Structure 1
C-alpha cells in the first residue's frame, strides 16, 4: 500500500507540472482544447500508473502465490499476533462467489468480534477502474485503506469455532492477497483457512429451452478429463457412441474444451447432446459435488432422462446421497481396488462398498472378475441387475487417408508401437530399457510411442515421470508423438510390426480388468505382445503366439519373426467387442416403453419425499419437469409460467408458496394436485394454505387422515376435493436380528426438539440402571452443526440439546453407551446394528424412520403421538415405560419381525402407493 500512495502522490505532481509546462509553451487555442480533453489524459495516465503498480505487485506476489485451480483450498495450521500476520496469495481466481472460512479452538476469539480480522488486496489481468471488491467488506483499514472484516464470533461445530466471510468477485483476479492480523497482544492459533468456490450453477434459458425438446435420453457423466486421451476418456466416448445407437445421449463433460486433441472428437455427434461446465456458468473443471449438482439441474430441465450412467466410486456415492436418481442409477466402477501380487487391495472400506452396491440399480461390469468381486459386497441378497459392458472397438475407416508418416522405410528395422498413457506398471519403461539392450546387441528396432500423459501413477515409483521423459528425449531409437487423436494413434499403430500391450506379471496377475489397448490391437489384426495372464488367455486363447512371460523374452520373440494371420481371432474379438455387438447386448436394459403421454410438472421446495416417485416416472418414459421453489417464494416467476404452459398436469409437493401461486394462476384449469404433509397445518405455514384457491385445485392429497381433518377444520376445503395417499416405503432387505443379548436402541433424526431425544436418553438410562446391556445409536445431523439452529429464534432449543449433552457427559454410564452417526444415505445399512427402532416424538405426520426400521427387521417402540394409531398397528404404541420395552424385547421373535414388515409393505409399499398416485394423476393404474 506504500507503493500505491507513493504512485498517487507522484502522479499528482506529474500532472501539476505537466499543466504548468503546457500553459507556458502552447498557444491559447491548443490550451483550451487540452482543457476539454484533460479528463481523458488524466484517465490514461492513471491507467498507466495503475498497470505499472499492478505489474510490480504481480511480480512480487507470483513467487509465493497459490494456484487456485479447484473448488477448494485448505491451509495448514498457523499462528498470528499483533506483530505477526499471515498472508495467502491466491492465483487466478475466476468470477463468482467464494467463502473464506477460518477455524480455531479459541474461546477468546469467539467471544470478541474484533479479536482478529482479514484484509484483502488484489491484482487483475487488466485495468479495473472500479476494482473488483463488490462484496460484503465495507470496513477499511486506516493504515492501508484495504477492505477488511472481523473474524471473531462465528459458529461452534464439533468442538471447533468457524467464521466465514463471503467474497463476490466480478471479474478475473490475477492475484488475491488475503492477510490475517490481530489487534491484541497475544498469540492466536488458527487450525485452518479454507477458500471455497460456492458460486451457484445456473443454466441459460436458451439451453433450458433446448433441453425441454430433447427426446427420451440417457445421461452420462464420468469424473474423466476429456482433454487427455487415455483409457478412461476413450471408455467415455465409446460408451456414448454405443448408447447413441439406440437412444439419445446427454453427455456432461467434466471440463471445458482446452486442447485441439480432445477425446470428444471421437464421438458420433448424431443422437448426442454434449454440455460443458461453461454451460452452467462454471469455468473450471467440475468437482464431484458440482458435477452432481449439474446432473440434477439437467434432470430438472429435461423431460425424459431414463437413466444416469456414472463411472467411479466417489461419484456414484455422491449421486446416491439422496434418492433423486433412484431406480435410474447405472454404476460402472473399476477404481475400488489396487492390483497387488498378494491379492487385491480395496481402496474403500467394506461398508462403503456395501453402501455403494445397496444403492445401485444397475451394475455395469467390465469383466466377470470384477462382477464376482463386487458381488461379495451385496448385502442381504439384494436384487441388483448386472450388465456386461466390456471394452469396445471401433476401427478407423480404412478408406481414410493416413495422417501419420513414418520416417523409417528400412525393412530391416523392426517397429514396435505403443499408444496410451505412461505410468508405472504399464510396461513402457521396461520396453525402453529392453529395446536399448537389444539394440546394443545389433538388433535394429524403432519404438514409436504416442502419449498425451506421462505420470507417476500412484506414487509408488518416485521420479518415474522424469526418468521416462528424459529417456524419450535422449534415445534416438524412440519416435515420440504427443497427444495424437484416437484415430491418428490407431493409424500409427497400424503401420507397426508389433504393438506393445505388455504389462508386468505382478500387475497382470492381480488386475481384474482387461486391456482396451490389447483388444483394439487384436481386433485390428496386429501382433500384440502381452503377458499370458488368465484374463488374457481367456481373451486370446492358450496358444496365442505373442505372449511373453517377461521383457527379457522380447528378443527371442522378435527373432522368431512369426508369420501370423489374425483373421480368425480378429473376427472373434470383433463379434464380442464391436460397438454394434455391445449395443445390441445392453439395449434391453435401457429401453423404455412409455405408457402415458401427459406431461407432468412437479413444483416444490423440498422433493425428498416424492423424488423416488418422480424418478420412477422418468425411468418409464413419462415426460416430467421440476420447478424448484424456495419455501416462501420463487426468484423467477417468468420461468414458472413457461413450465406451467408446458405441463398437462401440475403436482405441488407441499401446500406452501408454490401451491398458492399455481392455484391462483391456473386459469386454464389444468389438473392441479397439492400434496399436504404436516407443516401446512402448523402455525408458521398456515399463511400459505389460507391463500390457496381451492376452486382451481383438482385434488388435495394428504399423507394421513389426521392432517386432512386438521386442514379441513382450518381452511374449509371441500372434503370431496381431498383424498388420502400415505407416504411410501422402500422394500429394503430384511435383516435377521438377534434379540438375545444387547438392546440396541435406534433413533434417526433428533431435530427439532419435538423429536424428544430426552425420552430416548431416559429410556436408555433406566435400562442401564436395571443392569441390562443396552445402547442408544443416533443417526443424522447434530443440531449444533446445522446453521439454521444458530438463528436467534432457536437459542432456547439449542440450549435444550446442550443440556442433554452435559447430562450425557457427566454420566459415565450414558457416555459410554450413546453413539452418534453422521447423516448419509446408508441408513438401511445402519439398521443392521439396531434391534429396536424408537419413535419418541411429540408429533409426526408419518415418521419414515420408524417404518424403515421395522421393514429392516427392528422392533418398533412408539410413544403415543397424535394420529399414530391411524398409521401404524395399535399394538406398536407403548406407554414409553422401560418395563414395557423389556417385556416386548424378551417376547419378540423373527416371525413377529416378518409379520410387522409384511403388514407395513401391504399398507405402504412403494408399488402400491406409486400405483395409487398414478391412478390419481393419469386416471388409471399401471405397472410403472
Structure 2
C-alpha cells in the first residue's frame, strides 16, 4: 500500500448483543487493524456492555465512535440509529476526517447510504441479507442491488455461492465481488485435548436464540438423551432472544426454557473470548438448524468457532456443509432436521469415539482456513490493489502524470483504467468516441492539449486523428489488435507522431511491421490482461467433463470444430458436454448481413439438433460479464479458431484452473505453452479423454500458474505503467 488507508466501519447491528452480525463487526475491525488500516468503528446503539467493544479499544489504529454518548446526532437520546440517522452520522464523520473506504453491513443501511450519494466509489458493502432465490429476487430488489453495485468499490461476499448468485442477477457486480468469509480468532488460552468426554456429556450452543436456529427444541435434548441412556447437559451462551411475529410466544418460552429446564445451564451474555472458553470446556457443539435454512448461502461462524476449539459439531446435511466438511462427515442431521435426528447424532458422538474424533478433525481443519490472520491477509491484498504504491518514476515527478485515453470501444482497457486511477501521481481523463468514426473534435483537442501521454485503443480513426493533433512534448501510444491491419487506417496514421504501437502478441507485432513498414523501434508487445484473482474459484462438481467456448462469432471461431471435439469425446463417454457463452451471431449486424456467415451457422446449428452424439449435450448460455462464475462449471476451455491475435478465452479458462485446448492457429505457440496446442480436433479429444481426475486437476493447476505468471492484471498493469512513464 502507498499509504495507510482510513476506514469507517458501520454495521446495522447492536454490539451490546452477541450474534453473528455483531461478531462480524468485531472481527472486521480486528482484521483491518492487523492489515495496517486506520479504522473508526461507529456504534449503532449506546453502550450497555463492553463485551464486544473493549477488546478493540487497545488495537493499533482503532477508534470506537459512540454517537449516542458523544451527542453526534441531536435528538438521538438513547435510541439505536436508524439507517437514515446512521447515514447522517457517517457523513459528518467523513467531513471531519475523510475516509478512503466505508465498510457497511445491512442491505437497508447500504441502500440508504447509496441514496444519499456522499460515499459513491468508496463503499465496501458486506451483503448477506439479499434475496437468495429466484422467487425472492423481485425487480425492485434487483434494481436496488444494481444501485448498490454501481456505487460500491467492492462487494464483500461471505461465500462463493453468494458471490455467484449476486453476479448472475447483477452484472454491475461482476469484477467488484470479493470473498470475505467469517473470521475466527485463535484461542488465547490452552485448548483442552478433548480425548475423553465429560460425564455428563456437555453440549454447547452460543449465539442468538431464534426459532429457525432450533434453540427452543434444543433445550429438550438432555431429557431426550436420558431416555436413550445418555447423561448430558446443555450449556448456552448469549443474550439475544428474537421477537418473531409468527411465533408471538417464542420469546417468553425461550427465556423460560433457558432459566428452568433441567440439564440446561445458561451462562447469559459473555465476551467473545469467555464464550469460547465455556465452549472449549464442552464436548460437542450444536449447529443444528431448521430445514428452512438448508438453502442458505451463508457460512456459520458458530461451526468455525467450535472447530477452532477442537469441538465436533452436530449440523444439517447441506451442500454448503458438505463442501466445508465433506459428504462423509459423521455428525450430520438427516431428514427434516427433526429433534430425534439430532438426538441420534449426539448419541453417535458419545458412543463412537472414532466418529467423534473424525468430526473434530474435520471441524478443526475447516476452521484453520478462516483465522483472523487469513482475514487480515485478504484485506491487505484488497487494500494493496485499491491503494497501490506509486512507481518510483511517477513519485519522482514534480507534478502528476496526465494520462488521456481515447477510443470507441474501451472494454479491453477497463481494469487497466481502474488501476491507473488508483495509482498516486497519475491523473486520468477519457475521450470516449460514440462510434468508430464519430467523435467530438473539441473534446479531443482539449484532451490532447492537457495530456502528457495519450493512449489510443484500436488503430482506427481515433489513432489517425490523435496522430495529427499531437501536442508538442506529449507522447502518443496506440494499441493495435487484429482487424485494423486489414483496413486503411494504419496507412493514414502519422507514425512519426506515434511513440509506441502496442501489439498483444509477438506474431501480430511481426505482422504489423510487415504490413505497415513502420520502424521496428516503434512496435512492442504487451499481452492482454487477465483478472486472475476474480477467475480463481473452486470448480463445481462435474466440471471435468464439461467443455467451454467463449464467443462463437464470426464463424472463423469455428464452433463446428468444437462440436467435432465433443462428438469424439461423447463417443467414448456420454458424460461430456459443451457450454457456449456467446452472443448469437444474428445480434452482430456486420456478421449476419453476410450470406456465407448465415449459411455456416445454419449448418452448425442443424448439426446440434440432428447429431445423435450431440443430443442434449450442447448448452448455449447468455453472453454477459459473469464469466468467472460461469467458468466454475467448465473444466476445459477450447480455442478452435482459424486465427486470433491473442484469444483471451483460453487464458481466462486457465486462470480458473480449466485445462486449455487450442488448435494451432498462427502465433498460438508464442502465447501459450505448446503442451496445450493440438494438431486437430481428434488429437485434442484424445488428449482430454486421457486425463483422469488427478491428471485433470494437475493440468489445471499448471495452467493457472502459467497464466498468473504471464498475464495477470497486476503483471500487465506494471508493464503498462512502466511504458507510460518512460521518457
Q: TM-score, normalised by structure 1?
A: 0.41
The alpha-carbon distance between structure 1 residues 764 and 351, as it changes in their structure 2 partners (threshold 3 A), is: same
What is aligned with 1:773?
A: 575
What is aligned with 1:626?
A: 430
Cα distance, 1:755 vs structure 2: 0.7
* 2:631 is the counterpart of 1:831: yes
Alignment counterpart, residue 469 of structure 2, candidates 662, 665, 671: 665
- After the TM superposition, which of the residue ranges 749-758 and 766-775 deviates more from structure 2? 766-775
d(CA) in 2 for partners of 1:372 and 1:250?
20
* 2:721 is the counterpart of 1:918: yes
What is aligned with 1:505?
A: 243
Counting only pairs closer than 5 Å after superposition, residues 688-727 of structure 1 correspond to structure 2 as 688-727=489-528
The aligned length equals 432
Counting only pairs closer than 5 Å after superposition, residues 161-310 of structure 1 correspond to structure 2 as 231-247=82-98, 307=122
d(CA) in 2 for partners of 1:333 and 1:741?
23
Alignment counterpart, residue 820 of structure 1, candidates 617, 620, 628: 620
d(CA) in 2 for partners of 1:537 and 1:841?
63
Cα distance, 1:759 vs structure 2: 0.8
The alpha-carbon distance between structure 1 residues 749 and 898, as it changes in their structure 2 partners (threshold 3 A), is: same
Q: Deviations over 1:783-805 (max 9, x none)?
A: 23455555xx3343133223322
Counting only pairs closer than 5 Å after superposition, residues 752-771 of structure 1 correspond to structure 2 as 752-771=554-573
Cα distance, 1:728 vs structure 2: 1.8
d(CA) in 1 for partners of 2:403 and 2:543?
51
What is aligned with 1:848?
A: 648
The alpha-carbon distance between structure 1 residues 308 and 600, as it changes in their structure 2 partners (threshold 3 A), is: farther
Residue pair 1:705, 1:724 contacting (<8 A) in 2 also: yes
Cα distance, 1:729 vs structure 2: 1.7
What is aligned with 1:650?
A: 454
Bigger-Rg structure (1/2):
1
d(CA) in 1 for partners of 2:470 and 2:510?
26
What is aligned with 1:750?
A: 552
d(CA) in 1 for partners of 2:678 and 2:458?
31
Cα distance, 1:870 vs structure 2: 1.0
What is aligned with 2:297?
A: none
Alignment counterpart, residue 870 of structure 1, candidates 670, 694, 703: 670
Residue pair 2:564, 2:681 contacting (<8 A) in 1 also: no
Cα distance, 1:780 vs structure 2: 2.2
d(CA) in 2 for partners of 1:273 and 1:349?
28
Cα distance, 1:884 vs structure 2: 4.2
1:897 is paired with a residue of what secondary structure? helix
d(CA) in 2 for partners of 1:588 and 1:756?
41
Alignment counterpart, residue 638 of structure 1, candidates 431, 442, 452: 442
2:244 is paired with a residue of what secondary structure? helix
* 2:601 is the counterpart of 1:782: no
What is aligned with 2:689?
A: 889
d(CA) in 2 for partners of 1:674 and 1:624?
16
What is aligned with 2:601?
A: 801
1:750 is paired with a residue of what secondary structure? coil
* 2:407 is the counterpart of 1:604: yes
The alpha-carbon distance between structure 1 residues 350 and 331, as it changes in their structure 2 partners (threshold 3 A), is: closer
Cα distance, 1:853 vs structure 2: 0.7
Residue pair 1:768, 1:774 contacting (<8 A) in 2 also: yes
The alpha-carbon distance between structure 1 residues 888 and 592, as it changes in their structure 2 partners (threshold 3 A), is: closer
Cα distance, 1:703 vs structure 2: 0.9
d(CA) in 1 for partners of 2:446 and 2:427?
15
Cα distance, 1:705 vs structure 2: 1.4
* 2:480 is the counterpart of 1:679: no
Q: Deviations over 1:380-421 (max 9, x none)?
A: xxxxxxxxxxxxxxxxxxxxxxxxxxxxxxxxxxxxxxxxxx
2:513 is paired with a residue of what secondary structure? helix
The alpha-carbon distance between structure 1 residues 506 and 881, as it changes in their structure 2 partners (threshold 3 A), is: same
d(CA) in 2 for partners of 1:820 and 1:320?
30
Cα distance, 1:909 vs structure 2: 2.1
Counting only pairs closer than 5 Å after superposition, residues 79-98 of structure 1 correspond to structure 2 as none
Q: TM-score, normalised by structure 2?
A: 0.51
d(CA) in 2 for partners of 1:651 and 1:842?
30
Residue pair 1:329, 1:362 contacting (<8 A) in 2 also: no
Cα distance, 1:691 vs structure 2: 0.9
d(CA) in 1 for partners of 2:601 and 2:560?
9
2:478 is paired with a residue of what secondary structure? strand
The alpha-carbon distance between structure 1 residues 876 and 663, as it changes in their structure 2 partners (threshold 3 A), is: same
Q: Deviations over 1:246-283 (max 9, x none)?
A: 448999xxxxxxxxxxx99x98xxxx989xxxxxxxxx
d(CA) in 2 for partners of 1:537 and 1:507?
27
d(CA) in 1 for partners of 2:669 and 2:629?
28
Structure 1 residues not aligned, in runs of 5+: 1-229, 252-262, 275-294, 296-305, 337-345, 365-370, 374-501, 511-533, 543-585
Residue pair 1:689, 1:715 contacting (<8 A) in 2 also: yes
d(CA) in 1 for partners of 2:406 and 2:246?
52
Residue pair 2:638, 2:661 contacting (<8 A) in 1 also: yes
The alpha-carbon distance between structure 1 residues 724 and 238, as it changes in their structure 2 partners (threshold 3 A), is: same
What is aligned with 2:202?
A: none
Cα distance, 1:536 vs structure 2: 10
Give the CA RMSD over aligned residues: 4.7
Cα distance, 1:663 vs structure 2: 0.6
d(CA) in 2 for partners of 1:660 and 1:603?
12
Residue pair 1:653, 1:675 contacting (<8 A) in 2 also: yes
1:690 is paired with a residue of what secondary structure? helix
Cα distance, 1:751 vs structure 2: 1.1
2:625 is paired with a residue of what secondary structure? coil
Q: Deviations over 1:327-364 (max 9, x none)?
A: x8233799x9xxxxxxxxx9995885999988436689
Counting only pairs closer than 5 Å after superposition, residues 426-445 of structure 1 correspond to structure 2 as none
Cα distance, 1:843 vs structure 2: 0.9
Cα distance, 1:901 vs structure 2: 2.0
Cα distance, 1:607 vs structure 2: 1.3
d(CA) in 1 for partners of 2:385 and 2:416?
20
Residue pair 1:736, 1:894 contacting (<8 A) in 2 also: no
The alpha-carbon distance between structure 1 residues 250 and 856, as it changes in their structure 2 partners (threshold 3 A), is: closer
Q: Deviations over 1:812-857 (max 9, x none)?
A: 5413111121122221222222222100001111111101112211
The alpha-carbon distance between structure 1 residues 770 and 311, as it changes in their structure 2 partners (threshold 3 A), is: closer
d(CA) in 1 for partners of 2:625 and 2:445?
34
d(CA) in 2 for partners of 1:897 and 1:695?
45
What is aligned with 1:330?
A: 154
Task: Tell me which of the two structures has the higher relative contact order, counting C-alpha pairs closer than 8 angstroms and 6 or more residues apart.
Answer: 2
d(CA) in 2 for partners of 1:509 and 1:670?
71
d(CA) in 2 for partners of 1:347 and 1:673?
37
The alpha-carbon distance between structure 1 residues 593 and 742, as it changes in their structure 2 partners (threshold 3 A), is: closer
What is aligned with 2:659?
A: 859
Q: Deviations over 1:866-910 (max 9, x none)?
A: 111111112221122335422343243433322222222222222
2:176 is paired with a residue of what secondary structure? coil
